[in-house]
Each structure stands twice: as structure tokens, then as C-alpha cells.
């Protein structure tokens, strides 16, 4: 309980008077009460549901009735912080932030204001907690509560894991101090695995779990299984109507984002591309113009979205399968936040997974490769180059080391020499890798016509509020589709339907696998498997059969996935049968983006890059690694280093365009690296 200084104000009054809202949205009030009462909370609600209020309101209530000061808010992105602070200030609340984008002077002033009790909210980035003395400084004044926004970033299983978040578990107790300051973890994207991870890693104390609101009543999901070559056309169809815009198109690569934006611009749309390789000023311009309505369409990579609060996005189109249902759900969640009808069109096919698998293989080498490196290690400190020759893992050596290091299997000393770590790295690494594979498989399964799309997502997120079908997705309302077209069955198809139902009735009571059912019904009639799947989809949509995904691992640990078909209990009125017209390649020669995985970029090689520059960059990287006491690959990867050496960028923008180079690297080292490139890798004169 709180030491009552003043009687606790009524949350509803605070809602009206401080936030100007008439009523709570669903679940907000319950969460606010739990926090006011001092419980830890794990809050999982979709983007736009109003999670911020769930910590902002209780923070004010607690500050008023306890001696507590401001709420501490951990947030991963500068843009996100700036946006939140600005909104709070506009409401007349006292909010400040500390992050790398601000002058040291301003951050210091923010800290002082916090300690003097002159703030209601203080935002900061998680990496601040690593600054010696910072957590202790904050701990001098107990906060009203601690909120960890985008909390899924703490989990390896989450789709944008951030190592900086890992510190939180360790440092939060310092911030909580001796008092019982509640902690609330907020995220829009967490499966049950991630939820458990957040609770454990943040050391939440018997948290109240609130997982709600994933149902989006106004968002129609449409999923089109189609070859890559058809997609630009279908995307154009998806946003052709003025009512279908503003729209966000997610393209799988930067290059495609730019190409598609150009194509659409030629057709007269107000459109721009957005991706992480663009100069910050351009990114800001695009984001601003889209928010202000000057741009109708943004063609973006997944870099676009976090921190965007635009309520009237009418359509989100994916031009390839996202890497997980979590990512998909977050991205489609950006449509229709104003509650008016919106649509998300996913254009994908099984071949997209090939690209994801290619990246998975590259970013998560097989455990046996890591084992090879691990076995080569012992207590004698060794250089990476020495090991490289020894273990013969080629390009993968650095990745293997990084993964081993993350999981404790390798230690990297300040002089960058490597020794063997603990044995227990393999199991968690293998689990993580399997999880990534499973996410890809899940996403691919989503392509099939098996059931209501909303229900599939709700089940995935463990939101079991209600189980009714949405009534608006492509499964529930085929005729309302914007891209897919449904038609009545031909006579021949009617016969196929009968054959399938007959075979099902003859089969086992619990149903059959789709494969067996195919063999027992249409295979003999020369119908191909794809067409059979369309017939099955038609039956499922009409409520005549029930389809479910079954997954298990055999004794060798291999994943076996299949679709179970069972006869539907005949309740409810029969719905008409309709089939979707399949989207196939228009021209057989159609070469599309799906070939990407095979069409591997020819990576620059060490031999071709200018030697002096490579050496200079390596020296620079090593010095920085030693100075910051981190392994060299944390400064920049070999791939990025090689990219810089072979492209010799001459501006920050060009540097940012190098694969593997991020905004953060440019912010930190841009000037030094560009100077180094200008000198061709030689030492600086003044040094
Ligand atoms: P989330 O963090 O869950 O993505 P936000 O907290 O940013 O969502 O809220 C989304 C929008 O909803 C914001 O514009 C916010 O002002 C608004 N909002 C939140 N709660 C309410 C409410 N009770 N009544 C009306 N609008 C609300
Ligand atoms: Mg939020």
C-alpha cells in the first residue's frame, strides 16, 4: 500500500482533467488500478490500443498520493521518446528525456530536474544504465513507477532483440530501491514465449498479466499466395482507389522499395521510398510528409513504422512474407488506428521463405559450426585470424564467434584475444535458432486458406478474449477482397467437392491429413495438389470442413508439419461455396524478387579491397574496441568493414549506404572513418 500523503485521486477524474479523455478504452482502467496498487504488470496490447496511458495515468496518481517523484520510462528509440515527451508537454505535463541525440548540458539539466522533483516523466534509453553512476544517481529519488516500453526488445525470441535491454534486469532493482515501486513492461508484440522471457528477465514480481485487444474489428486481413512477378501489379490494385490511401507498402529490400516508389511516382501518385540506407534528413522528410498527408504512399522496408503515429492509414501491403507473425501483426497494426475500415494485403509465397532461410543460415550458423570453433578454443588466448585459418569456417567465423560470445561459449579479452568460455552455450543457442526457424514456418503456414485470419493471430498471441470469426478477412468474406477474386464453382469443381467430402467421410473419425485426403480423392483424377488445396479452402470457407495445423517433432528432432482435415459439425447455415482464382505467373519467364535468395549479391572479397585501407580500418576498429572494452565485432562486422573498404564512401550518406553499416555507427564513427578512407587507411598526421 502507498503511504497516503493525500487521498488518491480518482483515476476517472485524472483521465478527464489531465488527459482530456472522456472514458477509458478497454482494459486501461484495470491496468491503471493494478499499478496504482503497486503491482508489477506485463501489458501486451496492440499498437494504438493506448498502452502509454496505462503507465502515464497511474504515474500521476502515485506521484500525488505518495512521496514519489517522476515516472522513469525506458524507451529504445529517440524518435519514440521525442514523440512521447512532446505529447505529454502539450498536455501541460512535465516530461524530459535523456538520449544520445541531446547535448550533454540538456541531459544533465533533465537529470537535475528529476532529482529536484520538478518532473512527471523522465525518458531514457536503456544503454544509459551502463553509464557508471547513472542508475545510482536516479536512485536518489524513488520514482512513481518504472515503465519499460517496447519490452519485447529484451527477449532473444522477440523480433527486434536489443542487447542493451539485457542490462535492465540487473539495473532495475537499483532504480526500484528499497521501496515497492511497481514496474510495468509494455509491448505490442509478444507471443507466450516472449511474455515469459520479459517477466523473467525484468524480474517482475508476480506480474499481473494483461494480454488483450489483439482483435482489430476494423482491419480486414487479406492474404494472397502469389508469385513474386505478380506482386507489383497486385500492390497497385490494392491501393488503386483513393479510399485505399494513405497506404504503407512494405518491400523486402531497399532496392525494391526505391524501384517501386519510382514506378508508382511515374503513375502520378504522391509517393516516396523509406529505408535505413537513406540519409537521416531524407527519412525525416518522408516521415513528416506522410504524417502531414503530403505523401499518399510510402514504400518502405521494415525500418519504417516504429514511432509513427498516423491514425488514418487505410492500407498496408506486404510485398513479401514478413519474417514472423509478430512482425506481420505489428506492421499491419499500423493501418486503421482511427477505427475506420482498413485493409492489410499480404502478397507472399513459399519461395519468400527461401530468402529468410538464407539470412537465417547466415545470421545463425548451425550449432555444429559453432561447436567447431568452440572445440578449437582453450585457455590460451588466441587471435581471431589465427583461429580463422584453423577452424575453416570461412566467412562464418566471425558470426560463430559472435554467437558463441553472446551465449557465453567464448570470452573476448580487452586485447581482443579469445579463450574458451562455458560449456552451456549450445542448448540456449540451439533453442534460439529453432525458434527462428519455427517463426518462418508459422508465417508460411499463414498463407493457406485454413480459417479466419484474425483468429489465427489471436491464438498466436495468447489472446483468448473471444473466439468469434472476424467476418471481414479473406476467409470470412471472400467477396469483399480487394486483390483476390472469388467465383462460384464450375460443374467439374462441384464434383471434386463431392469426391473430397466422400473420401473424408470414409476416413478416420478424427479426420485425415490433407496429403492423405488428396491421395484418397483427387490425385487419381489428375487434379494437381495446388488445385486440391483451393478446393479444400473453398470447403473450409463454406464451413463444410475444419482445417487445423499440426506440428510435432519426430524422434530425430525434425519438424513435421501437416494440415488436419476434419468434417465440420454441421451447425449454422451452410455458406455458399466459392473458389479463389489462383494467382499464377502471367509470363512463364517471369523472374521476380523471389529469385533473390539464389541470386546472391557478389560480396566484395578481401583480396579485391585496397589492402592499406582494410588494414587501417581494422586498426581503427581494434583501437575502438579496446577503448570501449567490447569485442571488435561489436564495433563493426567484417562484412561491413570490407564493404567500406571496397566502396570507399566519401560522405556520411554514402557510408550509411554500405551494407551492414547502421545509423548508429555513422553517428559515432562517421567522421573518423571518412577521414580514414580519405587518407587511404594511413595514420592521421596529427596523431
Ligand atoms: P500504444 O502505445 O498502445 O501503441 P498509444 O499509447 O500511443 O498506443 O495510444 C494511441 C492513441 O490513442 C494516442 O493518440 C492516445 O492519445 C489515444 N488514447 C489512448 N487512450 C485513450 C482514451 N482512453 N481515449 C481516447 N484516446 C486515447
Ligand atoms: Mg507505445
Ligand 1 within 6 A of CB of 25? yes
Q: What backbone phi and psi angles, to 5 degrees, belong to 83? A: -60, -45
Average pLDDT over residues 67-90: 90
From 53, 189, 329, give the residue whose CB has the most ligand 1 atoms within 8 Å, as the site to mutate. Answer: 53
Distance 187 CA to ligand 1 centre (A): 14
Distance 315 CA to ligand 1 centre (A): 20
> For ligand 1, what atom is nearest to the CA of residue 23?
23
- Count of all residues that appear for the chain in the document: 687
Residue 132, CA distances (Å) to 111, 128, 129, 164, 280 in order: 14, 9, 8, 15, 30
Peptide bond into 246 cis (omega under 30): yes
Query: Residue 460's Cα: distance from chain center in Å?
Result: 15
DSSP string covering 266-330: HTT--EEEE-TTS-HHHHHHHHHHHHHTS-SEEEE-TTS-TT---TT--EEEESS--S-HHHHHH
Query: Alpha-carbon distance 326 to 148, whole Å?
Result: 19
Contacts 24+ apart (CB under 8 A), 631-635: 631/401, 631/402, 631/405, 631/412, 631/416, 632/384, 632/412, 632/416, 633/398, 633/401, 633/402, 635/665, 635/669
**pLDDT score recorded for residue 427:** 85
Query: Alpha-carbon distance 297 to 239, whole Å?
Result: 9
**DSSP summary character for residue 168:** H
% residues pLDDT > 90 (the chain): 54
User: Which ligand is in closest contact with the Cα of 334?
Assistant: 1
> For ligand 1, what atom is nearest to the CA of residue 45?
3
Domain annotation for the chain: domains and CATH numbers: 11-211 (3.40.50.300), 219-354+466-472 (3.40.50.300), 486-580 (1.10.10.10), 585-687 (1.10.150.80)
Segment 210-258, tens digit of pLDDT: 988 788 899 999 999 999 999 999 999 999 999 999 999 999 999 999 9
**pLDDT score recorded for residue 604:** 61
**pLDDT score recorded for residue 158:** 58
Segment 30-59, tens digit of pLDDT: 999 999 999 999 999 988 889 999 999 999
Distance 55 CA to ligand 1 centre (A): 12
Task: Find out whether 202 and 172 touch, Cβ atoms under 8 Å.
Answer: yes
The residue whose C-alpha atom lies closest to atom 5 belonging to ligand 1 is: 50
C-alpha grid cell for residue 198? 520479459
Task: Find out whether 271 and 295 touch, Cβ atoms under 8 Å.
Answer: yes
**pLDDT score recorded for residue 276:** 87
From 14, 16, 50, 54, give the residue whose CB has the most ligand 1 atoms within 8 Å, as the site to mutate. Answer: 50
C-alpha grid cell for residue 459? 491464438
DSSP-derived pairing of the beta strands 247-250 and 183-187:
unpaired
**pLDDT score recorded for residue 376:** 93
Segment 502-543, tens digit of pLDDT: 999 998 888 999 999 999 999 999 999 989 999 999 999 999
**DSSP summary character for residue 44:** E
Distance 105 CA to ligand 2 centre (A): 28
User: Which ligand is in closest contact with the Cα of 330?
Assistant: 1
**pLDDT score recorded for residue 127:** 86
Ligand 1 within 6 A of CB of 21? yes
pLDDT higher for 48 or 204? 204
Distance 16 CA to ligand 1 centre (A): 14
| pLDDT greater than 50 at residue 686 | no
| Three-state SS letters, 251-270 | CCCHHHHHHHHHHHHHCCCC
Confidence class of residue 571 from pLDDT cuts 50, 70 and 90?
low
DSSP string covering 189-220: ---HHHHHHHHHHTT-SSPEEEE-----TTEE
Ligand 1 within 6 A of CB of 54? no
Query: Among 94-98, 115-119, 546-550, whose mean pLDDT is lowest?
Result: 546-550
> For ligand 1, what atom is nearest to the CA of residue 51?
3
Distance 205 CA to ligand 2 centre (A): 22
Distance 153 CA to ligand 2 centre (A): 13
Ligand 1 within 6 A of CB of 48? yes
Confidence class of residue 598 from pLDDT cuts 50, 70 and 90?
very low
**pLDDT score recorded for residue 428:** 81
Residue 181, CA distances (Å) to 1, 38, 145 in order: 11, 7, 5
> For ligand 1, what atom is nearest to the CA of residue 87?
16
Segment 366-398, tens digit of pLDDT: 999 999 999 999 999 999 888 888 888 888 899
| pLDDT greater than 70 at residue 96 | yes
Query: Among 48-52, 230-234, 459-463, 660-664, whose mean pLDDT is lowest?
Result: 660-664
DSSP string covering 652-668: HHHHHHSTT--HHHHHH
Task: Find out whether 451 and 544 touch, Cβ atoms under 8 Å.
Answer: no
Ligand 1 within 6 A of CB of 53? yes
The residue whose C-alpha atom lies closest to atom 20 belonging to ligand 1 is: 50
Helix 367-376, helix 426-445: angle, nearest 10: 160
Ligand 1 within 6 A of CB of 214? no
| pLDDT greater than 70 at residue 466 | no
**pLDDT score recorded for residue 67:** 56
Segment 396-414, tens digit of pLDDT: 899 999 999 988 899 999 8
Ligand 1 within 6 A of CB of 50? yes
DSSP-derived pairing of the beta strands 512-513 and 297-300:
unpaired
Half-sphere exposure of 387 (CA within 13 A, CB side): 27
Average pLDDT, the chain: 88
Query: Among 107-111, 147-151, 466-470, 509-513, whose mean pLDDT is lowest?
Result: 466-470
| pLDDT greater than 60 at residue 592 | no
The residue whose C-alpha atom lies closest to atom 27 belonging to ligand 1 is: 50
Q: What backbone phi and psi angles, to 5 degrees, belong to 36? A: -60, -40
**pLDDT score recorded for residue 589:** 40
Confidence class of residue 569 from pLDDT cuts 50, 70 and 90?
confident
23: three-class secondary structure by DSSP = coil
Paired residues of 342 in beta bridges = 219
What is the pTM (predicted TM-score) of this model? Answer: 0.71
**pLDDT score recorded for residue 587:** 45
Distance 300 CA to ligand 2 centre (A): 21
* CA-based nearest residue to 51, from 69, 73, 28, 17: 28
> For ligand 1, what atom is nearest to the CA of residue 21?
24
The residue whose C-alpha atom lies closest to atom 9 belonging to ligand 1 is: 50
Ligand 1 within 6 A of CB of 45? yes
| pLDDT greater than 80 at residue 4 | no
Segment 14-33, tens digit of pLDDT: 999 999 999 999 899 999 99
Segment 336-357, tens digit of pLDDT: 989 999 999 999 998 898 888 8
> For ligand 1, what atom is nearest to the CA of residue 54?
6
> For ligand 1, what atom is nearest to the CA of residue 49?
3
pLDDT higher for 434 or 191? 434
Confidence class of residue 304 from pLDDT cuts 50, 70 and 90?
confident
**pLDDT score recorded for residue 603:** 54
pLDDT higher for 581 or 298? 298
| pLDDT greater than 80 at residue 647 | yes
Query: Alpha-carbon distance 530 to 498, whole Å?
Result: 18
Query: Alpha-carbon distance 287 to 301, whole Å?
Result: 13
% residues pLDDT > 70 (the chain): 93
Q: What backbone phi and psi angles, to 5 degrees, belong to 242? A: -60, -30
> For ligand 1, what atom is nearest to the CA of residue 22?
24
Distance 404 CA to ligand 1 centre (A): 41
592: three-class secondary structure by DSSP = coil
The residue whose C-alpha atom lies closest to atom 23 belonging to ligand 1 is: 24
**pLDDT score recorded for residue 590:** 37
Distance 137 CA to ligand 2 centre (A): 27
Query: Among 60-64, 86-90, 287-291, 574-578, whose mean pLDDT is lowest?
Result: 574-578
Residue 617, CA distances (Å) to 415, 532, 634, 639, 669 in order: 17, 57, 14, 12, 11
| pLDDT greater than 50 at residue 69 | yes
Amino acid at each position: 500500500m502507498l503511504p497516503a500523503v493525500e487521498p488518491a485521486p480518482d483515476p476517472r477524474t485524472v483521465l478527464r482533467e489531465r488527459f482530456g479523455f472522456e472514458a477509458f478504452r478497454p482494459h486501461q482502467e484495470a491496468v491503471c488500478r493494478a499499478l496504482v496498487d503497486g503491482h508489477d504488470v506485463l501489458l501486451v496490447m496492440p499498437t494504438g490500443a493506448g498502452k502509454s496511458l496505462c503507465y502515464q495515468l497511474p504515474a500521476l496518481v502515485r506521484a500525488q498520493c505518495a512521496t514519489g517523484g517522476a515516472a522513469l520510462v525506458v524507451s529504445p528509440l529517440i524518435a519514440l521518446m521525442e514523440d512521447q515527451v512532446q505529447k505529454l508537454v502539450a498536455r501541460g505535463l512535465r516530461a524530459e528525456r535523456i538520449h544520445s541525440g541531446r547535448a550533454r548540458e540538456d541531459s544533465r539539466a533533465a537529470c537535475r530536474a528529476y532529482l529536484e522533483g520538478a518532473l512527471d516523466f523522465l525518458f531514457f534509453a536503456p544503454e544509459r544504465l551502463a553509464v557508471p553512476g547513472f542508475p545510482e544517481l536516479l536512485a536518489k529519488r524513488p520514482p512513481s513507477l518504472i515503465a519499460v516500453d517496447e519490452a519485447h526488445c529484451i527477449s532473444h525470441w522477440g523480433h527486434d532483440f536489443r542487447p542493451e535491454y539485457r542490462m535492465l534486469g540487473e539495473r532495475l532493482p537499483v532504480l526500484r530501491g528499497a521501496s515497492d515501486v511497481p514496474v510495468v513492461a509494455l509491448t505490442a508484440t509478444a507471443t507466450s514465449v516472449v511474455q515469459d522471457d520479459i517477466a523473467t528477465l525484468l524480474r517482475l514480481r508476480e506480474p499481473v498479466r494483461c494480454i488483450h485487444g489483439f482483435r482489430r474489428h476494423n482491419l480486414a486481413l487479406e492474404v494472397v499466395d502469389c508469385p513474386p512477378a505478380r506482386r507489383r501489379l497486385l500492390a497497385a490494385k490494392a491501393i488503386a482507389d483513393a479510399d485505399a490511401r494513405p497506404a504503407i507498402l512494405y518491400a523486402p529490400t531497399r532496392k525494391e522499395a526505391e524501384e517501386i516508389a519510382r514506378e508508382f511516382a511515374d503513375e502520378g501518385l504522391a509517393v516516396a521510398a523509406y529505408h535505413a540506407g537513406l540519409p537521416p534528413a531524407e527519412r525525416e522528410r518522408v516521415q513528416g510528409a506522410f504524417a502531414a498527408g503530403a505523401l499518399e504512399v510510402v514504400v518502405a522496408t521494415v525500418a519504417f513504422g516504429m514511432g509513427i503515429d498516423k491514425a488514418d492509414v487505410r492500407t498496408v501491403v506486404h510485398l513479401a512474407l514478413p519474417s514472423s507473425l509478430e512482425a506481420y501483426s505489428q506492421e499491419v497494426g499500423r493501418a486503421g488506428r482511427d477505427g475506420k475500415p482498413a485493409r492489410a494485403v499480404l502478397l507472399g509465397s513459399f519461395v519468400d521463405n527461401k530468402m529468410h532461410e538464407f539470412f537465417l543460415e547466415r545470421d545463425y550458423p548451425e550449432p555444429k559450426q559453432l561447436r567447431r570453433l568452440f572445440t578449437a578454443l582453450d585457455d590460451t588466448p588466441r587471435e581471431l585470424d589465427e583461429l580463422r585459418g584453423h577452424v575453416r569456417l570461412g566467412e562464418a567465423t566471425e558470426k560463430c564467434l559472435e554467437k558463441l560470445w553472446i551465449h557465453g561459449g567464448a570470452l573476448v579479452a580487452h586485447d581482443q584475444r579469445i579463450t574458451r568460455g562455458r560449456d552451456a552455450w549450445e542448448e540456449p543457442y540451439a533453442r534460439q535458432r529453432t525458434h527462428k526457424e519455427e517463426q518462418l514456418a508459422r508465417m508460411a503456414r499463414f498463407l493457406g486458406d485454413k480459417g479466419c485470419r484474425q483468429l489465427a493471430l489471436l491464438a498466436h498471441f495468447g489472446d483468448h478474449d473471444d473466439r468469434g470469426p472476424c467476418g471481414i478477412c479473406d476467409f470470412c468474406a471472400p467477396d469483399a477482397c480487394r486483390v483476390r477474386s472469388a467465383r462460384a464453382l464450375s460443374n467439374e469443381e462441384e464434383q471434386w467437392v463431392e469426391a473430397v467430402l466422400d473420401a473424408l467421410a470414409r476416413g478416420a473419425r478424427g479426420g485425415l491429413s490433407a496429403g492423405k485426403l488428396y491421395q484418397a480423392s483427387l490425385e487419381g483424377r489428375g487434379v494437381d495438389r495446388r488445385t486440391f488445396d483451393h478446393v479444400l479452402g473453398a470447403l473450409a470457407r463454406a464451413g463444410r470442413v475444419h482445417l487445423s495445423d499440426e506440428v510435432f517433432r519426430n524422434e530425430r528432432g525434425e519438424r513435421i508439419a501437416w494440415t488436419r482435415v476434419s468434417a465440420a459439425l454441421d451447425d449454422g447455415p451452410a455458406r455458399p461455396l466459392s473458389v479463389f482464382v489462383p494467382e499464377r505467373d502471367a509470363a512463364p519467364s517471369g523472374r521476380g524478387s523471389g529469385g533473390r535468395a539464389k541470386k546472391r549479391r557478389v560480396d566484395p572479397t578481401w583480396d579485391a579491397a585496397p589492402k592499406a585501407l582494410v588494414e587501417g580500418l581494422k586498426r581503427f576498429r581494434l583501437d575502438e574496441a579496446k577503448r570501449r572494452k567490447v569485442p571488435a565485432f561489436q564495433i563493426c562486422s567484417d562484412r561491413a568493414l570490407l564493404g567500406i573498404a571496397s566502396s570507399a564512401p566519401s560522405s556520411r550518406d554514402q557510408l550509411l549506404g554500405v551494407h551492414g553499416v547502421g545509423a548508429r555507427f555513422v553517428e559515432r564513427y562517421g567522421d573518423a572513418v571518412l577521414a580514414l578512407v580519405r587518407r587511404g587507411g594511413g595514420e592521421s598526421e596529427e596523431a
